[in-house]
Structure 1
Amino acid sequence: MAEERSSKVVIVGCGPIGGAMGCLFRRHGYDVDIYERYHDIRNQPHAAGRSINLVLTRRGLRFAEMLGVKEQLLSYTVPVYGRTMHDLNGTTTYTPYGREGECNFSVDRSKLNEFWIDEAEKAGASIHFDRALSLEHTSLEARFHPHVLGGTSPLPGSTPLLHRFSGREAFRCLITE
């Protein structure tokens, strides 16, 4: 008997990877629900101060190109050709990111998140903000709960707990409102 494939995908986390994967699954015809424990960052004022930019490499750009959004994504970036390192004696060493003329692309972390959230929504993914996840490894249940606290730390022990699900045939996902 042929195994029936579910047409629904649930993604936990709507950072750059969650949003991008939402686009990919929608492209392949899946219904996509993305759950994010934080507020929609597009509706929040950006924090002043320093933020570490992220770097897009050829691999990330190939993925964006496959989804047809490479040029739009590049409009938020600045090319970076290498890095300069400073040692304790004040000596600097420059290391290029590739051969002459090759570069990576630096992008503001918030802009990248906003970009992929927008793209996932345009693709038809449903994004549910302010939803926290809890896992019950004994009953193989994942539950999404309305997130009512201002800020929370990551689920303690979540990585080992997720590994306990590895290799299991299935677990239930329960969404509570």
Structure 2
Amino acid sequence: MRRLQDLAVSADPDGDTWTEAAARVDALIELLAPSDAPEGVGPANRVPSLPGAGSLLMAPYVITSMEPDGVALTVRFSRFHVGGNSAVHGGVLPLLFDSIFGMVIHAAGRPISRTAFLHVDYRNVTPIEETLTARGWIRETDGRKAFVNAELHRPDGTLCAEANGLMIRLLPGQP
């Protein structure tokens, strides 16, 4: 599916090929539609052993460490994530950081929380087709609040982007 996503945004076939591809996608939809399931049943965000925890929205990441003092992972962006000039689209990075923040909260044993704010500083171009490392941690807590940080690095140590945010623990019964 990830390769299909990449080709859907980067292939340049003739019109007949696009028409045939659309027909094949329709056939896949017809095949999968009877198995449509509610949130929390399909693989998206439920299967940590799958790249990106099973979510096709996320760049494929692999968690390398998940401890109470922080989370580390590797991530590889592809053509699907390009904003231009073989660089990751800037809007993709907040998605990654928000997911890392959620993992950090879980690893620290804190109750389910929601993102109150997320700030990203873009330090250097984030490349596609390169295995990057990210880590996130809780900087401090104050009652229901957890102030979190994360960084994304190239293999040579270059800082691509860093983020900080505020996660708020949900109240009982809060969605």
Q: Which of structures 1 and 2 has the larger relative contact order (alpha carbons within 8 angstroms, sep 6+)?
A: 1
TM-score range, shorter chain: under 0.3
Point out the structure with the larger strand share. Answer: 2
TM-score when scaled to structure 1? 0.22
Radius of gyration: which is bigger?
1
